[in-house]
């Protein structure tokens, strides 16, 4: 027996008017078992958003900014290209607000994402794997033009970075109020998180070093090659440095305009590439040794955060962004090591008592 008291809770002190009001205020959590001795390692766990990812933030702001400006009319169909998390976030928002949603998505992304969006009322249009992210992007633009639908434009809209400056960055400042934050580590998909958070940290926490990461085999920023853009800052072709990678949600085959602000203004202090298998490995370790279930992108970010923590001075604090939940990756390499049927060890446990068992 121990003297530890039973955990208690007291509610949120409010009743939420809709699921949209539960977006944000995700927790910063200390890593207790994996981090190096003498360094404070934390994760900001975005799976606590209602649809399970950081993209809930941009989804609600894109829709509400469009409502405020009049760009989105009542009952108008919303269309967007996405690897899944933005689409799921938009499906949540559109279901609550009553907008039809059509998502375009490359057929290479995990099948559970399609089913989640369809369950929430969205239509999912698949584009050929060979056309990569640019193909699904182009299809969404074509559908918007053909049918007069509202194109969410997550890769270009100011509403993306703005919500991270207004919420994510403010939460980080609040969580570390009175404490040092030496490093902030993140990857990029649209670039909204790093751009919005960095705007604020550069001004309010200038000693915090911002570490950006991208896939080792798809180093678009690291290549130094710019993305060719059209009149609306939209990409006009696939980036030559892109190769397919397993870190879903990271690095489409073009540099998003939202991310370009970070590049142009030197918002990051160091760019560290990471291999896809490392993302899988560290996501699995976070789950099995910390009880934190994140996806491959979260594992990849954490792999970089571990590199930083191992080199950091004693007493340093490192914050790592975890964009989503691992449940979104059941059909990906993240779960390849975990069978559906009992292993021989599990069967032996079953046979260790005389009661009913299988095998």
Residue 18 pLDDT exceeds 80: yes
Q: For residue 215, what are the β-bridge partners?
A: 274
Asked if 297 is an active-site residue, the reply is: yes
pLDDT band at 80 (very low <50, low <70, confident <90, very high): very high
Higher pLDDT, 263 or 133: 263
Residue 49 pLDDT exceeds 60: yes
d(CA 355, CA 334): 34
Q: Please report the pLDDT score of residue 357 as a whole number.
A: 61
Average pLDDT of 343-353?
A: 92
Q: Please report the pLDDT score of residue 65 as a whole number.
A: 97
Tell me: the pLDDT tens digits for 86-116? 999 999 999 999 999 999 998 888 889 999 9
Q: Please report the pLDDT score of residue 356 as a whole number.
A: 67
Do 86 and 155 meet the contact criterion of CB atoms below 8 Å apart? Answer: no
Q: Please report the pLDDT score of residue 133 as a whole number.
A: 82
Q: Which of 296, 301, 220 is nearest to 262 (CA)?
A: 220
Cβ contacts of 77 within 8 Å, gap of 6 or more: 99, 100, 101, 102, 147, 149, 150
Q: Which helix (H) or strand (E) holds 213?
A: strand 209-215
Q: Which of 137, 148, 147, 187 is nearest to 298 (CA)?
A: 187
pLDDT band at 358 (very low <50, low <70, confident <90, very high): low
pLDDT band at 1 (very low <50, low <70, confident <90, very high): low
Domains detected in the chain: 19-48+169-335 (3.40.50.1100), 55-151 (3.40.50.1100)
pLDDT band at 359 (very low <50, low <70, confident <90, very high): low
From 83, 198, 213, 297, active-site residue: 297
Task: Give the sign of the dihedral formed by CA 163, CA 48, CA 89, CA 274.
Answer: positive
Q: Which residues of 58-69 are buried (b: 16+ CB within 10 A; e: fewer)?
A: bbbbbbbbbeee
Tell me: the pLDDT tens digits for 181-239? 999 999 999 999 999 999 999 999 999 999 999 999 999 999 999 999 988 898 888 99
Q: Please report the pLDDT score of residue 317 as a whole number.
A: 98
Residue 74 pLDDT exceeds 90: yes
- List % helix, strand, coil for the chain (3-state, nearest 5): 40, 15, 45
From 55, 132, 139, 209, active-site residue: 55
């Amino acid at each position: 027996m121990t003297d530890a008291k039973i955990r208690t809770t007291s509610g949120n002190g409010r009743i939420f008017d809709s699921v949209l009001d539960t977006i944000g205020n995700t927790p910063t959590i200390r890593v207790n078992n994996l981090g190096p001795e003498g360094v404070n390692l934390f994760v900001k766990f975005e799976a606590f958003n209602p649809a399970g990812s950081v993209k809930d933030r941009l989804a609600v702001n894109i829709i509400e900014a469009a409502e405020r400006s009049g760009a989105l009319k009542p009952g108008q169909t919303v269309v967007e290209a996405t690897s899944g998390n933005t689409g799921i976030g938009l499906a949540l928002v559109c279901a609550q607000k009553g907008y039809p949603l059509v998502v375009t998505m490359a057929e290479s992304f995990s099948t559970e994402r399609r089913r989640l969006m369809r369950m929430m009322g969205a239509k999912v249009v698949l584009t050929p794997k060979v056309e990569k992210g640019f193909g699904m992007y182009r299809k969404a633009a074509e559908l918007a033009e053909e049918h007069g639908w509202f194109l969410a434009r997550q890769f270009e809209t100011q509403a993306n970075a703005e919500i991270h400056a207004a919420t994510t960055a403010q939460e980080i400042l609040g969580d570390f109020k009175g404490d040092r934050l030496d490093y902030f580590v993140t990857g990029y998909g649209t670039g909204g998180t790093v751009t919005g958070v960095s705007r604020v940290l550069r001004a309010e926490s200038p000693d915090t070093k911002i570490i950006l990461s991208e896939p080792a085999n798809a180093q678009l920023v690291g290549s130094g090659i710019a993305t060719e853009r059209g009149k609306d800052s939209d990409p006009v072709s696939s980036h030559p440095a892109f190769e397919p990678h397993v870190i879903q949600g990271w690095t489409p085959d073009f540099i998003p305009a939202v991310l370009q602000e970070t590049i142009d203004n030197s918002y990051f202090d160091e760019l560290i590439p990471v291999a896809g298998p490392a993302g899988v490995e560290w996501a699995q370790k976070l789950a099995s040794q910390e009880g934190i279930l994140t996806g491959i992108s979260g594992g990849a970010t954490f792999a970089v955060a571990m590199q930083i923590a191992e080199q950091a001075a004693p007493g340093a604090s490192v914050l790592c962004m975890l964009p989503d939940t691992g449940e979104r990756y059941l059909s990906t390499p993240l779960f390849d090591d975990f069978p559906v049927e009992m292993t021989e060890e599990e069967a032996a446990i079953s046979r260790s008592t005389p009661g009913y068992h299988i095998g």
